[in-house]
Structure 1
Amino acid sequence: MHIQTSRLIIRNFEEKDAAGLYEYLAEPPVHCFYSEKVNSYNEAVKKVKEKQNEDDHGSCYAVCLRDTDFIIGEIFSMKEHPDTYSVGWNFNLKYVKKGYATEAAEAFINNLFENDARRIYAYVEDDNLPSQKLCERLGMRREGLFVEFISFVNNPDGTPLYENTYQYAVLKKEWLIK
């Protein structure tokens, strides 16, 4: 994959992305990315290799600044046959509030719809307000709230901390008229 926008490049992960990936995965800002946490540059190198070798069911791409090709986050999708995709993103907090996530997500979703997607959805935890706002900027509708849907971390007593999760979605026919 290679998508260019006015300020960004969305592309496959490359070895040189380890340093930038380490910046945003050393301290994941939301629970859903805790399993991605890396504790060293060497772990980041391994994580980049994993992301380069993801299978046909899930794809993850580096989001880089166009002028420097420095990674500032990632965007990913998983296909559910025949034509539905779940999408998500994770960005370095140093680059928030500059419109990069919106720019990347619009280009990525547009690419999916130009290919074989009919429906795209995203899960967002109820305390992740930036991602909720991003979904709304993208024209996705909030379809529902799954109460105590999933656990990414444990409570202090070791029991799972279940999180409420919203589902947002947009259909191709809605995307084309926005």
Structure 2
Amino acid sequence: MGKEFPVIETERLILREVTTDDDKDIFTYLSDQDVMKHMGLKPYQTVKDVWEEIRWYQTIREEGSGIRWGITRKDSGKVIGSCGFLNRVSKHFRAEVGFELSKDHWGQGITGEALQAVVKYGFQNLELERIEALIEPANLPSQKLVEKQGFVREGLLRHYEFTCGKFDDLYMYSILKADVMYT
């Protein structure tokens, strides 16, 4: 990936690199149990936990295994969530997409707007052929969100992850470059 962090603009949003200056805004949603309950992580306890998250964003970009954008509304500039790629396997032209959003902004179509832009970026700029989303069976809102974006549920991965002291089943969703047309 290039040196300069790519900024993505949509109708209502600017997706940009997060910095430690955004730590308190990010802590707002990563410390929220409702936001975190399907992420396989316990709610963050301190702003220092957020610094580790931001460092992870930097590390996956440096390694080429992912890129994570902070979701900001044009009218405020405040980071209200994130969306991006992880577990990218360049030789197989695939990556996983992940996202989360502050509860105050749920139900407004913001995650869908961000996800659509990120998927488009992945197909157009990262040479991806396949984008995957792994979602807990209980996380119905995220399932509906990806399905609305054109993702197809391929099956259930039983005991796929061990998080928070338990094994989690995850649905595998995917979208292929040929599934979407960009003009």
TM-score (norm 2): 0.85
Letter in 1 for 2:39: C
Structure 2 portions without partners, runs of 5+: 1-5
Query: Could you tell me how far apart the structure 2 residues matched to 1:47 and 1:17 are?
Result: 11
Give the count of matched residue pairs: 170
Deviations 1:110-147 (A, max 9, x none): 01111211111110011111110111111111001112
Query: Could you tell me how far apart the structure 1 residues matched to 2:55 and 2:128 are?
Result: 27
Structure 1 portions without partners, runs of 5+: 155-160
Quick one: percent identity of the two aligned structures? 26
Q: 2:75 aligns to what?
A: 67
Displacement, 1:162?
1.5
Q: 2:23 aligns to what?
A: 18
Q: How does 1:1-178 map to 2 (within 5 A)?
A: 1-28=6-33, 29-34=36-41, 37-54=43-60, 55-78=63-86, 79-82=88-91, 83-115=93-125, 116-154=127-165, 161-176=166-181
Displacement, 1:46?
4.5
Displacement, 1:89?
0.5
Quick check: 1:9–1:66 contact (8 Å CA) kept in 2?
yes
RMSD: 1.8
Give the secondary structure class of the aligned counterpart of 2:45: coil
Give the secondary structure class of the aligned counterpart of 2:180: helix
Cα gap change, 1:43 to 1:120, in 2 (>3 Å): closer
Displacement, 1:170?
0.9
Give the 4+ runs in structure 1 shifted more than 4 A: none
Query: Could you tell me how far apart the structure 2 residues matched to 1:26 and 1:69 are?
Result: 20
Quick check: 1:31–1:152 contact (8 Å CA) kept in 2?
no
